[in-house]
Amino acid sequence: EAGVVQSPRYKIIEKKQPVAFWCNPISGHNTLYWYRQNLGQGPELLIRYENEEAVDDSQLPKDRFSAERLKGVDSTLKIQPAELGDSAVYLCASSPGTGAYEQYFGPGTRLTVT
Amino acid sequence: SQQGEEDPQALSIQEGENATMNCSYKTSINNLQWYRQNSGRGLVHLILIRSNEREKHSGRLRVTLDTSKKSSSLLITASRAADTASYFCATDDGGSYIPTFGRGTSLIVHP
């Protein structure tokens, strides 16, 4: 079974530029999460999807971040414009549903904003 | 704010020794999960323990949960160099089932 796929794995951009991350969850997983992880910290939830509906986006900085999950399968997270403080690893995870389910994480995208 | 906090922040042991790390949280939970993260494999789920459970085992891993003290511990027995990683506990807030991760414990196992 294929795991959670993310691309790109690494991205270096200058501040004020846009950037997008893509995630393909495990087949059949209805719930998709985007996390941000800063160095030395645990993952911080940005947004959670149940199928195509964003059901928890309270931690998403909506002035510059946006996300979509068309057709309830793969998802894209966008930052526009990027700031120096956005440098982090962006993790995507999926699970069969919400509740007592483990999350399966992708390898992450390491973003460096210069 | 983060729900769970791991202790210690860093742990260094010799191969073959046991490693114990703890997680404390603030509000009632439905479940508590432990994850491992290393550079090779990313974040991997280890164990999920429900609020009505007190202990679970998986191979060399043993997790306990004390809801009266709002704390959990992860014990790794007979540690190996390959156990070197950061270990995170993730707790929900008792309502939404959304896991919140702590800062993690960095474990180094010396061969």
Decide if pLDDT at A83 tops 50: yes
Main-chain dihedrals φ then ψ at residue B83, nearest 5 degrees: -80, -5
Main-chain dihedrals φ then ψ at residue A51, nearest 5 degrees: 55, -125
Q: Which residues of A touch B104 (CB under 8 A)?
A: 41-42
Q: Min CA distance, A93 vs chain B (Å)? A: 9
User: Are the beta carbons of A56 and B43 separated by less than 8 Å?
Assistant: no
Average pLDDT rounded to a whole number, residues B47-72:
96
Decide if pLDDT at B97 tops 80: no
Do β-strands A31-37 and A19-24 pair in parallel, antiparallel, or remain unpaired? unpaired
Q: Which residues of A touch B63 (CB under 8 A)?
A: none
List of residues 6+ apart from B1 with CB closer than 8 A:
none
How does pLDDT run across A13-42, given as a tens digit for each residue? 999 999 999 999 999 999 999 999 999 899
**What pLDDT sits at residue B80?**
97
Which of B3, B97, B103 to mutate: most A Cβ within 10 Å? Answer: B97
In chain A, residues 19-58 whose CB comes closer than 8 Å to chain B: 40-45, 48, 56
- CA–CA dist B88, A63 (Å, integer): 30
- Of the candidates A43, A100, A102, the beta carbon closest to that of B101 is on A43
Q: How many A×B Cβ pairs under 8 Å?
A: 46
Q: Which residues of A touch B103 (CB under 8 A)?
A: 40-42
Name which of A89, A10, A107, A91 is nearest B99 in CA terms: A91
**What pLDDT sits at residue A1?**
66
Q: Which residue of B has its CA nearest to A100?
A: B31
How does pLDDT run across B2-23, given as a tens digit for each residue? 578 899 999 999 999 999 999 9
Residue type at position A15? K
How does pLDDT run across B68-95, given as a tens digit for each residue? 999 999 999 999 999 999 999 999 877 7
Q: Which residues of A touch B98 (CB under 8 A)?
A: 45, 48, 56, 98
Q: Which residues of B touch A98 (CB under 8 A)?
A: 96-98
Indicate the DSSP class of residue A61: -
